[in-house]
Amino acid sequence: MSKRNLFAKEALAQIPKILTLLDRNPHSPTYGCFDRTFWQYKVIDFPAGMSQEFVYPLALAYHCSLPDNIFYQQPSLKEWVEAGIMYAVKSSHPNGSCDDYFPYERAAGAAAFSLLACIESYTMMDLENPVALEFFGRRADWLAGHQESGRLTNHQALIVLCLELLGNLLKTDRWETKKQERLEQVLSWQNSEGWFIEYEGCDPGYHTLTISCLAQVYELNPDERLKKAIAKGVELAAQFIHPDGSYGGEYTSRNTYNFFPYGFELVGKWLPIALNINDRFLIGLKNGLGSCYGDDRIIGHHTWNYLLAWRDFVTVRPPLQPRPQGRFHLKEGGILIDRRGDTELYIALNKGGVFKLFRDNKLIVSDTQFSLLVQQGKKLKNAVGHLVDRYQVELDTNKITIAGNLGWAKQKQMNSFNLIVLRLVMQSFGRFFPNLIRSILQKILITGKEVTPYQFFRCLHWQGEQWQVEDRLTAESWSEVVSADIGCDRTSIYVVMSRTFQPGQLQPGVDLRDLLRNLNCDQQLTLKRKF
């Protein structure tokens, strides 16, 4: 199978599930809804607006002319795409916004993703529907004037792209000023190191989505300043493609394995290193190292992006460049990459020393720091070492040391009482302050760190052509610690696209219970390993 067709194969494999999520019955009141938990299971009281994004992969599958694509130019797909667009109209608020996780949320991300999907699908399918066009305008007006809580550059880039595409579709400059203002915001959120901020720092996965959006904007409206920003972002992304072709992981700010290839195909027309990134990723994809994004809410993102990469695949490609050597340090991003011969270390200095280590193009170890189960009264709490913080870090040529306190994992779950309160709040005054509610939930579920009494010290020392790792953990008492280990995926920060399965997570953890049993109250837990 050609490299190009691998993108299509992976994406087309998701279309049957996407169609299963769709209410395809034209006599149903929810015809066109992609939120199966709403229309089929009836276990929630509103449909997630993000789900209507799934019209986009259907429209692309309709146009994907591969011999084994059973969806190619099927009339039913055209009907279902239009039904999906019209359900986006039906399920939106009067101002064009939509909800994603709770009623009256008016979620910018869901609105932007689904608007992009609707605009592009409408165009590809040559639809003529004035109701849909009027809706696109209302949603664009809302997005153009709305600022969400939290700094998620990928959302802002999506909004810029939506305004650009809709202006072209409707042949109007109605959003030109707002589009330029939002683009300025995106460019101002690019760190001098090249990465675009996502909540608390650098996430290479969402970075590729931002590049994908900006590359499309540049194709439609070339601008030298935008080109420089994209080039800087692509050069940074090249550092994060692992030697086995995998990308991202738990050492990044949002713990994602996201990889959106489409932007690199577009940029590859004028910056060859971008095609190298995709070619290395395709090696990993061919070897089964892609991450699974097949759940009901997020299956669409990568599906449409892969199909776009297939559609606009650059046929003449440069040879793969040799792997870089030496150290690459993002001081503000909090990530260090150390390459020595056939050994590559990716370590998060701002997340307690979470790391991935590769040798001979294979993953040797994925380490997400200490994780303790602690009994406090009737509650079991989780103390972890992977939370974002300002740790004590020392870097020498052959040694990396990181010290600090473990933090309490955010493990808040919704219960009946919480859900009732949230519904009452949103059905009353909360509907007028959705950004405030969203900001509160972000602080509860995502950002910030509550310190525990457990202190860690981690030292990675390069000796004898290998990394030697020494971990120490100190506590006033071990009596409350029920269990402890160091695993490959002990992440806890709530991010929609994190905690997906990736084959590297098959690695067994390091069980520390035997070490704990042999400790006196005031003794230090010490673990030494060589890789």
Looking at the predicted structure, is the pLDDT value of residue 445 above 70? no
Task: Give me the pLDDT at residue 162, please.
Answer: 98
Task: Give me the pLDDT at residue 432, please.
Answer: 77
Looking at the predicted structure, is the pLDDT value of residue 184 above 90? yes
| Mean pLDDT computed over 76-94 | 98
Q: How far apart are CA 493 and CA 384, in angstroms?
A: 11
Q: Model confidence over 47-66: pLDDT tens digits? A: 999 999 999 999 999 999 99
| Mean pLDDT computed over 295-316 | 96
Q: How far apart are CA 345 and CA 359, in angstroms?
A: 9
* E strand or H helix at 527: strand 525-530
Q: Model confidence over 26-48: pLDDT tens digits? A: 999 999 999 999 999 999 999 99
Rounded to the nearest 5°, which phi and psi values hold at 154? -60, -35
Looking at the predicted structure, is the pLDDT value of residue 257 above 70? yes
Task: Give me the pLDDT at residue 519, please.
Answer: 85
CATH class of 3-311: mainly alpha
Q: Model confidence over 354-383: pLDDT tens digits? A: 999 999 999 999 999 999 999 999 999 999
The answer to whether the CB of 89 falls within 8 A of the CB of 111 is: no
**Amino acid found at 421:** V
| Mean pLDDT computed over 198-207 | 90
Kindly give, in sequence order, each residue whose CB lies less than 8 Å from that of residue 531, ignoring residues fewer than 6 positions away. 357, 359, 364, 365, 466, 467, 468, 469
| pTM summary value | 0.95
- Work out the number of other CB atoms within 10 angstroms of the CB of residue 295: 11
Residue ranges per structural domain of the chain: 3-311, 327-410+446-491+508-530
| Mean pLDDT computed over 130-158 | 95
Looking at the predicted structure, is the pLDDT value of residue 446 above 70? no
User: 17-32: buried (b, 16+ CB within 10 Å) or exposed (e) per residue?
Assistant: bbbebbbeeeeeebbb
Task: Give me the pLDDT at residue 3, please.
Answer: 92
Kindly give, in sequence order, each residue whose CB lies less than 8 Å from that of residue 329, ignoring residues fewer than 6 positions away. 335, 336, 337, 395
Q: How far apart are CA 150 and CA 200, in angstroms?
A: 9
Band the pLDDT of 518: cuts 50, 70, 90: confident
Average model confidence (pLDDT) across the chain: 94
Looking at the predicted structure, is the pLDDT value of residue 479 above 80? yes
Q: Model confidence over 413-434: pLDDT tens digits? A: 778 887 787 788 878 877 877 7
State how far the alpha carbon of 315 is from the alpha carbons of 5, 262, 272, in Å: 12, 14, 12
Looking at the predicted structure, is the pLDDT value of residue 322 above 90? yes
Kindly give, in sequence order, each residue whose CB lies less than 8 Å from that of residue 264, ignoring residues fewer than 6 positions away. 208, 211, 215, 234, 237, 274, 275, 277, 278, 309
Task: Give me the pLDDT at residue 444, please.
Answer: 67
Looking at the predicted structure, is the pLDDT value of residue 239 above 80? yes
